Structure 1
């Protein structure tokens, strides 16, 4: 019993030290980073893909904002056999705007996952370019992915065209910062959607914003420095020449993992190109204000990460990926598994401590006073502190109007939030064991269609949906 207890305690301590070291490794460079210079979006030919499945609540507003903020970009809206009015809305917009294109998918080809919808749009973009711009330069064409509820910063295309992005000819893909737009801040273009109705809902949205703009941003900044930034499902941009190269080897650019965005980023690196993360501009999306949909979403991500474990060998043996990048990617691929292991180890350590406390001759109080009190600073340093610090970072780098007290409180809430993520990992693992890989789409937060239903007027024309058959 004593040997088993010592082994569990040692494992728990090693995991804590590893976690603390990783937090320090991503936090320090992130706090020191400085903005990169912007470029000129006119150097790029940008095409944005909007995957749409039952998006009538948000899609018209999204298209209108993208057309207003990025008038030179072409929008490729994939109606993946929606059961609501999404297709009709998109057909109306496409009929009056030559920069809005409708890609209609129907059963049985439709609803085969986001990757399949993106591949359909990629094929349509290539066909359109071959007809409309037969002398196009595929290295200059950039294909972005924006969620149907996404809001892309007005300066985003200029920023990603800069020397830290596509201004560098070796860069194949760029991911921009993600933030939550339903934080309910009046006058802020990235956060002026109504906040959640409940206090818990508002807290959950704020925690997701903190997570993306600090924790994930810091992780991505480290990857940015070594050239291995991961792609996200919203706000990813890739050169067409890179997508074509991936398709030449793998039939299509996007593949079947539930984490198809991260999988794409791996293929970009394996093809010999660099990935970059851009924290100087953003794409905003709806945060989830309820616990169950949030756990379901993160379980899908965790399961997708587990599916990508098949790339371990290719990443480690690839001549195209540097050793630092390969090690960081390997660490990321291990995260769901270390979280599962950590849950078991920490739970076992807690049970063992409880056992010794109850069998101590002088009871729990005596056990605590005779040395167990040292667990309190240990937990504070290795367990709570590395998570609470992100509340202060959030105040420093993102939302300076927060008081220090509120920032600390948000950090403590983030500590509790991580336990929801552990529940998500176990849910995803359960689905892996049962070989389940289908998922119901997460419902949008907005309850009714937005008023901004009409995109800015452009040259009237016959819609692509009328001129071309449905694309599988």
Structure 2
């Protein structure tokens, strides 16, 4: 066998194996996603609630987020971490803390500040742990993490207290569904009146933002539902909730709850599993966040995620050796950690296979038509089946499962755009590898739209009384019981 034929055979085999692995995984995650049923809610009044909002240069958005949280969740305490912001974030948070007794400001200054999101979350955890009175059952204290631009479903605390989540004493942490839009207020059911009045709808979002929403509410949610069965649900950076007792247990065993990986949320989930507790995913409630409207910031965000996944590969041995992690969970975690490396391999193998196919077609006796007629035509349906269809199918699924009013044709076009979206994001993996090789570990933070000078403080000053004064509701005492 001559070397071009041998090279073509090896490349096509490698491409085929990569595609089959991917297609099998898509089938595995799609089955529980399509069969999912709603879970009954519980009662939030059985728990004490603390929400952490980490902030680094979040002046444009954090005032609206805190106003939303205080109005919709008066039973909770909000810990806003100013991680050495260079804009007016600190002043905005200080003003909010003056106006709202349940808002607490955690200020971090150099050199401790700007050491990554995990360090900022650890600072808030220490403040929360110190504020909880002795004798309180720390199993009944829930710590949530929300982005500075987040909008949380007002029924979320009740939903995640259901029997499939914190209602199960073995569940230590819950991740909820994430939705992405240009207007986080409009995507959740909490603002049905705005939608009915013809306000901005999620369908008005630009294509890039819509693709992010498809990704989070489709493939990522499906992955989490598979993990629910395997026992390996991962935590996300937005919309994660953890029992304070579980965070304490991680700190006791590993030093702090959050650690230094750029994917600090997934790293937290690994530590939860390694300490012998269970994590759960709840698709019945959601948190909305603003999408990225430009490609470069999106690639920067995904670069951070990919590099964080590469960093977390160091836990693979501990996961497989731990008696606390079931084998299905360990296998799913291994596949997730393998994904960035498979994308690197695929981005080399697939173009090389196509290039060698073209070379072979040109140099075959009779030219490309003869090469095509000799059986090469079979490559095209295989490429469509393995490389295109698994991306396109999420368009129609998104239409049927996300309650977005789009037509069938538009859903198919969205699926076609999802093909390009998936392959473009592979550039972020190469960027992550370059940063890893250069030992770059700085936090590539996602930036939000800039605000005019003084506009955020003006927003705080102009908040109506309903947003400043907590809604009348029975204050929640700490549940008592044996401290754990």
Offset at 1:293?
Answer: 0.5
Aligned to 2:255: 251
Offset at 1:134?
Answer: 2.7
3-state SS in 2 of match to 1:6: helix
Pick one of 347, 351, 357 that aligns with 1:353: 357
3-state SS in 2 of match to 1:91: helix
Aligned to 1:61: 64
2:151 and 2:184 in contact (8 A); partners too = no
1:93-104 matches, within 5 Å, as 93-104=96-107
CA 93–400 in structure 1, closer or farther in 2 if over 3 Å, else same: closer
CA 379–277 in structure 1, closer or farther in 2 if over 3 Å, else same: same
1:66-145 matches, within 5 Å, as 66-129=69-132, 133-145=133-145
Deviations 1:359-397 (A, max 9, x none): 123222333344322222111111111110001110110
For the residues of structure 2 that align with 1:187 and 1:283, how far apart are their CA atoms?
Answer: 9
3-state SS in 1 of match to 2:331: helix
1:374-385 matches, within 5 Å, as 374-385=378-389
CA 305–447 in structure 1, closer or farther in 2 if over 3 Å, else same: same
Report whether the alignment pairs 1:44 with 2:47: yes
2:165 and 2:171 in contact (8 A); partners too = yes
Report whether the alignment pairs 1:327 with 2:339: no
1:179 and 1:190 in contact (8 A); partners too = no
2:61 and 2:149 in contact (8 A); partners too = yes
CA 400–194 in structure 1, closer or farther in 2 if over 3 Å, else same: closer
Deviations 1:399-452 (A, max 9, x none): 342111111100010000011221011110111111111134322036555785
For the residues of structure 1 that align with 2:102 and 2:187, how far apart are their CA atoms?
Answer: 28
1:19-418 matches, within 5 Å, as 19-129=22-132, 133-182=133-182, 202-418=206-422
Deviations 1:157-206 (A, max 9, x none): 1111111110000001100000113168968567989789xx9x811100
For the residues of structure 1 that align with 2:440 and 2:243, how far apart are their CA atoms?
Answer: 33
CA 302–364 in structure 1, closer or farther in 2 if over 3 Å, else same: same
For the residues of structure 1 that align with 2:268 and 2:442, how far apart are their CA atoms?
Answer: 19
Unaligned runs of 5+ in 2: 472-484
TM-score relative to the length of structure 1: 0.92
Aligned to 1:467: none
TM-score relative to the length of structure 2: 0.90
Offset at 1:3?
Answer: 2.0
Once the two structures are overlaid, the 10-residue window that deviates more, 1-10 or 180-189, is 180-189
For the residues of structure 2 that align with 1:412 and 1:371, how far apart are their CA atoms?
Answer: 27
For the residues of structure 2 that align with 1:280 and 1:440, how far apart are their CA atoms?
Answer: 31
For the residues of structure 2 that align with 1:280 and 1:256, how far apart are their CA atoms?
Answer: 31
What is the alpha-carbon root mean square deviation over aligned residues?
A: 2.1
Offset at 1:28?
Answer: 1.3
Aligned to 1:463: none
